[in-house]
Amino acid sequence: MIMTDITLTIDGKQVAVPKGTSILQAAITAGITIPHYCWHPGLKAVGNCRMCLVQVEKWPKPVASCVQPVSEGMVVKTSTDEITKIRKSVMEFLLINHPLDCPTCDQAGECRLQDYYMNYDEVPSRFAEEKVSKNKMIDLGANVMLDQERCIACTRCIRVCQEVAGVDELTLANRGDHTMITTFPGKKLSNPYAGNTIDVCPVGALTNKDFRFKKRVWFLERTPSVCPGCSRGCNIEIHHEELKVYRLLPRYNPEVNNYWICDEGRYGYKFINEDRILRPRILEKNISHLVSSDEAVDRLAGLMKGGALDEIGVVANAQETNETLQALADFAKTVLKTRHLYFSRREVENPVSDNFLMTADKNPNQAFVDKLGFRPLSTLKEVRGLLVLNSLSPADMKKVIEKKVPILGIWASNENPAAHSSAVVFPIPTYAEQEGHFTNVRGLTQKITAAYPPRGEARLVSETLEELTERLQTNARSYTQNSYPLSPHL
C-alpha cells in the first residue's frame, strides 16, 4: 500500500508530512516553533499543558497541536492575537504558585518556563494572595531530587517511567493547585532509566542529585560522543568545562538509543576526572619513579630487547577505540611478529541487562577486538612478558600472577592493579579526550569526539608505539643500558 503525504499550510508556509503526523510535528518539520511543555518526541502525546494551542481555519475553536493529526488542505495559524492571549493566560496560571527562585534553581539556563515567560508573558504577577506551599528537596531515589513547588504537572516524568522503563513509579496526587508529582506510598524511584525523568522535565522540578549546584549550565561546553558503559554504544553529549566532565546526557539516535540512556551510563563518567595517571613512570626495585616519555620508551625498549620479541604477549582491551586497537594489533604482528595476542575486558559481577538498551557486556568495543583476532587472556601461553592496554580484569590479573609473567609495559588512563605492577607505565587519554570510533554489539561503527585535549602528559597509544618501534629497530639509547630488575610477583 502506497502512503501519500498530507499537504497543509502553517503560517503561510506549505508543508508535506506523512498521514498521522500531528500539527506540532508538522510545524517542527517546517521550522516553525510552537511552544509546548507536555509533548516530547519520544513519548505519547497527552495534550494537557494547553501551551501548544493553535487555530485552524474554519474550525470553531483552538486545538492542541500536539494531539491533532493533520488533514489535507488544513490551514493553521500559530500566533494570532487570540492564540497569543491564550498562551499568556496559560503562563499566568503556571506561574501563580511557582516560586521565584531562578537564581538558585539548577534548571536556570535551560528552563522552558523562563524561556516562554520572556516570549509570551513578561508581565508582573497579578496574584496578590499567598502561594500554595509544597515540599522541597525530596529524594525520590535513583539520584533524582524533587521540588514540588516548581512542578507544572506536565506528566513527562510519569510517562518516561511507564513508556521507557516499563514501570509505574511516579504518579500525580491531589487535585487543582495542590496537584503534585510523587512516588507511590512506601516506594522509591528505582528503575534503571530514572535519570531520563530529569532530562525531560521542562522546568526545575526534577534535578540531578549528582549534578546539583556543581556548575551553571551556561558555562558548560557540549561535545557529541558515545557511551562506553556497555556494548550498545548509546549516543551521548559530554558536558564539560576546563578539562573536567560534569555530566552526560543522551543524544538522539533512532538507530541505537532514541532519546534515552540508562543510569549506568549516565553516572559512569567519574573515572574521567578521578584517579588518573598523568605522567610516565618506571618501576625500579618496587619503587615507582616519574620519568619523561622518552625515558619511559627507552626503558621499555631495553626490557623488550632482552630476548626474542615474538615471545612477548600483547593484551588488548575492549574499552579502547578501533584506532588504538588497530595500532596495537599492527605493532604486535609487524614489529614483534608475535602470535600471543590476547584481550582483557571490564567484567562486572551480576551485570544488569535488558531487551532495551543495557547489555550484559560492559565494554564498548568487544566486536572490534574479536574482529582483530585477539583471544581471551584466560588462554595465556608461556611468554616472557606482557604489554598491556589499559587494565586487566580481576580474573585476568589473577591468571598473570599465577603464571608469574611480568608486565613489561602498560598504557593506562587510570590507576589500576596492573599499572601498579608494570615495569613501565604510559598515561593515555580517556575516550573523552580523543577522536576515534567504537563498534557496537550490532556491528555499527560510531564516532567519538575529543571534548578537550588529553590531561597531563597523556598521549595516544599509537604515538608511543611509533617511538617504541623506532627504538626497537635501532640501537637503544643510553638510558636502556642500565639494568632494572623486574618484580616476579607483580
Judge if 265 and 285 occupy the same domain. no
Q: Which residues are CB-neighbours of 63 under 8 A, at least 6 positions away?
A: 23, 53, 54, 56
Of 270, 289, 309, the one marking the end of a domain is 270
Cα separation, 333 vs 322, whole angstroms: 16
Cα separation, 412 vs 177, whole angstroms: 55
Judge if 304 and 419 occupy the same domain. yes
Structural domain span for residue 328: 281-481
Per-residue DSSP letters for 198-251?
Answer: HHH-SSSSEEETTTTTT--GGG-EEEEEE--SSTT--EEEEEEETTEEEEEEE-
Of 19, 48, 79, the one marking the end of a domain is 79
Q: Which is nearest to 477 in space by CA: 336, 298, 318?
A: 298
Cα separation, 308 vs 335, whole angstroms: 12
Q: Which is nearest to 472 in space by CA: 395, 411, 409, 392?
A: 409
Would you give per-residue pLDDT tens digits along the chain (490 residues)? Answer: 455 799 999 999 999 999 999 999 999 999 999 999 999 999 999 999 999 999 999 999 999 999 999 999 999 999 999 999 999 999 999 999 998 889 999 999 999 999 999 888 778 888 888 889 899 999 999 999 999 999 999 999 999 999 999 999 999 999 988 999 999 988 999 999 999 999 999 999 999 999 999 999 999 999 999 999 999 999 999 999 999 999 999 999 999 999 999 999 999 999 999 999 999 999 998 899 999 999 999 999 999 998 999 999 999 999 999 999 999 999 999 999 999 999 999 999 999 999 999 999 999 999 999 999 999 999 999 999 999 999 999 999 999 999 999 999 999 999 999 999 999 999 999 999 999 999 999 999 999 999 999 999 999 999 999 999 999 988 544 444 444 444 433 3
Residue 114 sits at φ, ψ, to 5 deg, of -65, -50
Taking the whole predicted model, whether its pTM rises above 0.75 is answered as: yes
Cell triple for 51: 501551551
Judge if 467 and 318 occupy the same domain. yes
Judge if 114 and 230 occupy the same domain. yes
Domain holding 406: CATH number? 3.40.50.740
Cα separation, 71 vs 75, whole angstroms: 9
Strand, helix or coil at 32?
A: coil
> 290-326 burial, b if ≥16 CB within 10 A, otherwise e?
ebebebbbbbbbbbbeeeeeebbbbbbbbbbbbbbbb
Judge if 129 and 233 occupy the same domain. yes
Q: Which is nearest to 280 in space by CA: 457, 462, 477, 469?
A: 457
Q: How far is residue 365 from each of residues 8, 229, 306, 332, 440, measured CA to CA in Å?
A: 46, 10, 33, 19, 6
